[in-house]
Amino acid sequence: MRKPSVIAFTALTCFTVNYAKASPQAQTLLLSQVVDQRKFALELEPKEILTQTLEQAKKFTAFAKASPQQKRTSPYLKECKTNSNHNPFCLFIPDLLQFQNTQNSQKKNKTHHKRPPMQQILHWIQEAQIQRLSELSESGLKDGLKQITAFSQITSLLNRINHNFTCDYAVMSSILASKAEEFLPDEKPKQTAIRLYQNVTQCNIGETIHLKARFRLSLLQIWNDDCKSALPHLQFLSQHTNSINDYRSRALYWESQCHNTLQNPKESEQAKNTLLERFPFSFHTLLVQGENLEHKIPESVPLESAITSRINSSSPVNQKLSAIEALILLKEINLAKKLLRTMDSDISKSEPSFQLYVAAIYYHLNDSLMQFKLITSIFKENPKLISRKSLQLYYPHKSFASQNRYLTELDEMLLLALIRQESAFNPEARSSAGALGLMQVMPQTARKFERIRTIKELLKPSLNLKIGTRYFSNLLKNFNGDTGLALAAYNAGPKKVQDWIKRYPVKDKVLFLDLIPYKETREYVACIARNYYWYTSLYPEIRQNTTMSQRNLNKVFTLSGS
Positions marked active-site: 422
Angle in degrees, CA 173, 179, 182, rounded to 5: 150
Residue 313, number of CB atoms within 10 A of its CB: 12
Residue 150, number of CB atoms within 10 A of its CB: 8
Residue 103, number of CB atoms within 10 A of its CB: 8
Report the C-alpha gap between 225 and 85 in whole angstroms: 73
Q: How many helices (H) and strands (E) does the chain have?
A: 33, 2
DSSP run (H or E) holding 368: helix 368-381
Q: 16 and 316 in contact (C-beta within 8 Å)?
A: yes
Three-class SS of residue 480?
Answer: coil
Q: What single DSSP character describes residue 53?
A: H
- Judged on CB neighbours under 10 Å (0-12, 13-18, 19+), 242 is exposed
Report the C-alpha gap between 556 and 537 in whole angstroms: 14
Reported residue count of the chain is 562
Report the C-alpha gap between 519 and 198 in whole angstroms: 20
- Label each residue of 138-165 as H, E or C: HHHHHHHHCCCCCHHHCHHHHHHHHHCC
Report the C-alpha gap between 329 and 335 in whole angstroms: 12
Report the C-alpha gap between 175 and 139 in whole angstroms: 10
Report the C-alpha gap between 56 and 498 in whole angstroms: 60
Angle in degrees, CA 407, 493, 469, rounded to 5: 10
